[in-house]
Amino acid sequence: MMQRMMRFLVGLGLAARVATVAAQGVPEKPARAEAAVWPGVRPSGSVLLPNGWSLRPAGSQTPLGDFPILLAEHPSQPVLAVLHAGYGEHEAVTLDPRTNRVIGRAAVPETYGGLAWSADGTRLFVGGGFDDVVYVFDHAEGLLSKRRTLALHGPGPAGAEDPTTPLPRARRGAEQAKGAVAGLAPSRDGSTLWVADAFAHQIVQVDLNAGKAVAEIPLPAESYPYGLTLDESRGRLYASLWGRAEVAVVDTAGRKILASWKTEEHPNEMLLTKAGRFLFVANANRNTVSVFDAEAGRPLATIGTAIHPQAPSGGTPNSLATSTDESILFVANANTNDVAVVNVADPAHSAPLGFIPAGWYPTSVRTSRDGKSLWIVNGKGTSSRANREGPAPGIPTPSIREYIGGLMRGTLSTLPIPTPKTMAAYTKAVYESCPLAAEGSATASGPKPPTGNPIPGKVGEPSPIKHCVYIIKENRTYDQVFGDMPEGNGDAKLCLFPEEVTPNHHALAREFVLLDNFYVDGEVSADGHEWTMGAYATDFVERTWPLSYRGDRRVPYPAEGKLAIAFPSGGYLWDKAREKGVSYRSYGEFVGKGDEPGAAVTTKLDALQGHFDPLYPVYDLTVPDQRRAERFLAELKEFDEKGEMPRLIVMRLPNDHTSGTRPGAPTVRAMVADNDLALGLVIEGLSRSKFWKETAVFVVEDDAQNGSDHVDAHRTVALAISPYIKRKSVDSTMYSTSSMLRTMELILGLNPMSQFDAAARPMWPAFAETPDLAPFEHRPSRIDLRETNAPDAPGAEASLKLDLDEEDKADDLVFNEIIWKAVRGADSVMPPPVRAAFVLPKPARDDDDDD
């Protein structure tokens, strides 16, 4: 089959890109730059995501739970186990692969990874996340029972536990966990379980007969062991070191490290061939799989898995499977929503066979024991989701299913092992779903720019714009601010901060351009700031933030430069500026408070050392944004006097996040109005500077989170401000955060950071050839900025309990309801945030029409 597939695919002509088709049912608005295309189902059945990529998953789709991350087939029975580790309930679910029906569910307090059957199939092992334990379930005919706990550190609970009684979330408060369980590897004789203790940077050996840990094998600092693969014939254990780009080779008898093999960034899942000859390692922070001759202990090859050979990083390969004869390798590319298929009959000389379209963020790929079926677990399902049963007043614990973090309801794709004919159709569908230009990352994707447009079509081409100012704000949807603007596609009923509160936002949108089809790429601040500055969130960030946001304060905040393992291999915007010798400066972004009270602000990023303003206030809701504006304007005056300003300026204006109704704090309206005035003052100052004629300002929220929006909860407030903007226009081109980044990169001559800014359409339609140098005049605030919350304000008691020291530490469902009631009154009913209600796409077929 493999040879026929190779012959069939040689010379395969891939179909043209998807043609955009205007969405039905969206009301026409006047003065748009071009016909609007909105996210949703396309005529062919594919789903257009807000980031411009499409989904068209192959096979049948079975609904799963909250962010499924792993699948394991029972060693002898027709049973599949799937592990869920999202914002909502953590559980192991068993399914019958013959019918894809759920057999049973087994809840666990928390999991971060780790799912393995015992060799005889009588037990299922599940990692216990930051509780630093392993759960053991008895198994019979698909049903899991008699949950027991194996403690990795210190004494554990004695005896079997009642499986109907939830286990306590041990050390769930401020106490720091020692580790967090990732991969598991049980021995064939059932006596030993090897555990990757990721955050403790060690491997733990558990004696299953004694029911306790008997040894700890320390690993180098910042290792973050992820996957484990046991080779009992050689007495070896392979551990992928997520944080060090290495595979550790461990002697199981001597409990010591024998060797370390270099991979590329973020090695995660591994696959050892049956005879133990070859070891495949997926490198999530690159587009590659490392191949080792395990017998000889040497590297053999690096296999590329990206859709285009020259594509930047961003594919996130994170799971591996082979055909029964081990001649074909399947690689799940999480971020590009596909499975790469590779001929590995000779692993040293692999050959690509094409791609299979998956759902949103595939996290696990497996082939069936009989060699007939392929299973793909899609962590985020097959679409954005509607949440008609959103947060409701009076309900102390609203349904997490309606929070954006809880909407990642996964699916299981089931399909036959592909034939040459189906591979051709699948590959065609994947290329049609990908907006990345085949010409390479230097050339912008999408239609060519109009003649004379100030935004180049290729990196390195000249632009009359020399300076980019990038302003990051916090957590608002389009409808919350611009829903009252009749010029755009808004819903006034959802508008919390109309022109009375945000006169500068409204004036900027009217005088320059209103962007009513703009979406954030992230879900929350943890991945939102990563997407905002890097056009990508690594697998570490995607896997970690749901646990932090579901309330476990032991889980570190995995973003904004706090942990090196979170850094994308493609770098951040300032890395690309440094690479090209472009001057840059940060005002509060990826800069934080020192470790000690009163310590100077600091950053852990090498590229920002000496490139941030130490006097600019970092994230602190007690500091008005006007003070931030004043500080920047003071430096702008110095730039004016010297005649030189950094070409890239990144600035944080965070106070539209608000402090809720915390007594004594500024009211919600006052904080948003403060943020609005600060923005107006900054733009006015820039527009009156000597740099204005060569400047473009871009404003965006890092994420939209749980606010209401009638189009999609990822739709957000975004502004583009420049003499080169088409004045008084409405641009309904579908853009994302990556589009804004791509536009700045093209202006400054910077290479893209990931496949997502490389693939994003630049904001050409918003710009004009002839500049209009008229300055902007800020609007004074229309409300009292000194207005404070009364002790009996709606939600005051709840606000006092919220952690507002860092963004998104507060319960977002509660917080957004507080904001709604603070504006609309205690008796008002907060409408549910609306997500795009998409149907499941049909599988790709040879006779499907192009979009």
Whether residue 398 is found in the same domain as residue 474? no
Mean pLDDT within 330-358: 97
Quote the pLDDT of residue 569. 95
Whether residue 397 is found in the same domain as residue 488? no
Q: What is the CATH number of the domain that holds 376?
A: 2.130.10.10
Instruction: Give the pLDDT confidence of 637-664 residue by residue, as tens digits.
Output: 999 999 999 999 999 999 888 877 678 7
CB-CB contact of 741 with 760 (8 Å) = yes
**205, containing H or E segment:** strand 202-207
In terms of Cβ atoms closer than 10 Å to its own Cβ (0-12, 13-18, 19+), residue 633 is middle
Query: Token digits for 331?
Result: 């690689």
124 or 40, higher pLDDT: 124
Give the span between the Cα atoms of 223 and 53, in whole angstroms.
33
Whether residue 396 is found in the same domain as residue 507? no
| 116 occurs within a structural domain | yes
Whether residue 581 is found in the same domain as residue 513? yes
Whether residue 382 is found in the same domain as residue 504? no
Question: DSSP per residue over 214-234, as a string?
Answer: EEEEE--TT--EEEEEEETTT
Give the span between the Cα atoms of 505 and 498, in whole angstroms.
9
99 or 841, higher pLDDT: 99
| 850 occurs within a structural domain | no
Cα–Cα nearest to 750, from 447, 454, 335, 468: 468
Instruction: Give the pLDDT confidence of 191-215 residue by residue, as tens digits.
Output: 999 999 999 999 999 999 999 999 9
Whether residue 404 is found in the same domain as residue 487? no
CB-CB contact of 138 with 145 (8 Å) = yes
DSSP state for residue 752 in the 8-state scheme: P
Position 825 pLDDT exceeds 80: no
Task: Show contacts of 788-791: CB within 8 Å, 24+ apart.
Answer: 788/663, 788/664, 788/665, 788/666, 788/667, 788/670, 789/659, 789/661, 789/662, 789/663, 789/664, 789/665, 789/666, 789/667, 789/822, 790/663, 791/663
Query: Token digits for 515?
Result: 């962007």
Whether residue 280 is found in the same domain as residue 405? yes
What are the helix (H) ranges across 522-645? 525-534, 539-549, 573-579, 625-642
Give the span between the Cα atoms of 604 and 625, in whole angstroms.
24
Position 237 pLDDT exceeds 90: yes
Position 719 pLDDT exceeds 50: yes
Query: Token digits for 588?
Result: 């509060």
Give the span between the Cα atoms of 261 and 26, in whole angstroms.
55
Residue appearing with tokens 């500049």: 771
Query: Token digits for 160?
Result: 């079997």
382 or 797, higher pLDDT: 382
Quote the pLDDT of residue 23. 29
Position 816 pLDDT exceeds 70: no
Residues in the chain: 851
How many CB atoms sit inside 10 A of residue 178's CB?
A: 16
Whether residue 338 is found in the same domain as residue 485? no
Whether residue 414 is found in the same domain as residue 476? no
Angstrom distances, CA of residue 49 to CA of 41, 295, 519 = 9, 44, 10
Band of residue 525 on the pLDDT scale cut at 50, 70, 90 = confident
Whether residue 73 is found in the same domain as residue 135? yes
CB-CB contact of 134 with 186 (8 Å) = no
Instruction: Give the pLDDT confidence of 464-522 residue by residue, as tens digits.
Output: 999 999 999 988 899 999 999 999 999 999 898 999 999 999 999 999 999 999 999 99
Instruction: Give the pLDDT confidence of 287-338 residue by residue, as tens digits.
Output: 999 999 999 999 999 999 999 988 999 999 999 999 999 999 999 999 999 9
Quote the pLDDT of residue 519. 95
| 542 occurs within a structural domain | yes
Give the span between the Cα atoms of 589 and 591, in whole angstroms.
5
Query: Total domain count for the chain?
Result: 2
Query: Token digits for 9?
Result: 């695919």
How many CB atoms sit inside 10 A of residue 147's CB?
A: 22
Mean pLDDT within 594-602: 73
Position 632 pLDDT exceeds 70: yes
| 51 occurs within a structural domain | no
Residue appearing with tokens 């990206």: 306
Give the span between the Cα atoms of 308 and 295, in whole angstroms.
32
Question: How would you write 271-321 as a 3-class SS string?
Answer: EECCCCCEEEEEECCCCEEEEEECCCCEEEEEEECCCCCCCCCCCCEEEEE
| 76 occurs within a structural domain | yes
Angstrom distances, CA of residue 359 to CA of 66, 268, 283, 376, 616 = 14, 20, 20, 8, 43
Give the span between the Cα atoms of 86 and 405, in whole angstroms.
8
Query: Token digits for 467?
Result: 């300076």
φ/ψ bin of 777: left (φ > 0), alpha (ψ from -120 to 50), beta (otherwise) = beta
Whether residue 387 is found in the same domain as residue 511? no
Q: Is the CA virtual torsion 59, 64, 67, 70 positive or negative? A: negative
Q: What is the CATH number of the domain that holds 751?
A: 3.40.720.10
Show the domain range for 142: 63-168+177-420
Quote the pLDDT of residue 708. 81
Band of residue 371 on the pLDDT scale cut at 50, 70, 90 = very high
Cα–Cα nearest to 656, from 641, 668, 666: 668
Task: Write down the number of H helices and E strands in the chain.
Answer: 13, 40
Position 91 pLDDT exceeds 70: yes
Query: Token digits for 425?
Result: 């159709």
Mean pLDDT within 621-649: 96
DSSP state for residue 251 in the 8-state scheme: E
DSSP 3-state percent helix, strand, coil across the chain (nearest 5): 20, 30, 50
Quote the pLDDT of residue 443. 87
How many CB atoms sit inside 10 A of residue 421's CB?
A: 12
In the beta sheet, which residues pair with residue 340? 331, 355
Band of residue 12 on the pLDDT scale cut at 50, 70, 90 = very low
Position 24 pLDDT exceeds 60: no
Whether residue 413 is found in the same domain as residue 501? no
CB-CB contact of 218 with 234 (8 Å) = no
**759, containing H or E segment:** helix 755-759
| 430 occurs within a structural domain | no
Strand bridging mode 648-652 / 584-587:
parallel
Give the span between the Cα atoms of 66 and 93, in whole angstroms.
11
Residue appearing with tokens 């059932």: 190
Quote the pLDDT of residue 807. 57
Angstrom distances, CA of residue 461 to CA of 442, 466, 579, 611 = 10, 12, 17, 26
| 590 occurs within a structural domain | yes
Which residue, of 385, 420, 455, is where some domain finishes? 420
Mean pLDDT within 607-624: 92
Q: Is 131 helix (H, G, I), strand (E, B) or coil?
A: helix
DSSP state for residue 569 in the 8-state scheme: T
Position 837 pLDDT exceeds 80: no
In the beta sheet, which residues pair with residue 298? 293
Radius of gyration (C-alpha) of the chain in whole angstroms: 27
| 445 occurs within a structural domain | no
Give the span between the Cα atoms of 205 and 187, in whole angstroms.
11
Band of residue 153 on the pLDDT scale cut at 50, 70, 90 = confident
Which of 343-347, 382-386, 437-441, 707-711 has the least mean pLDDT? 382-386
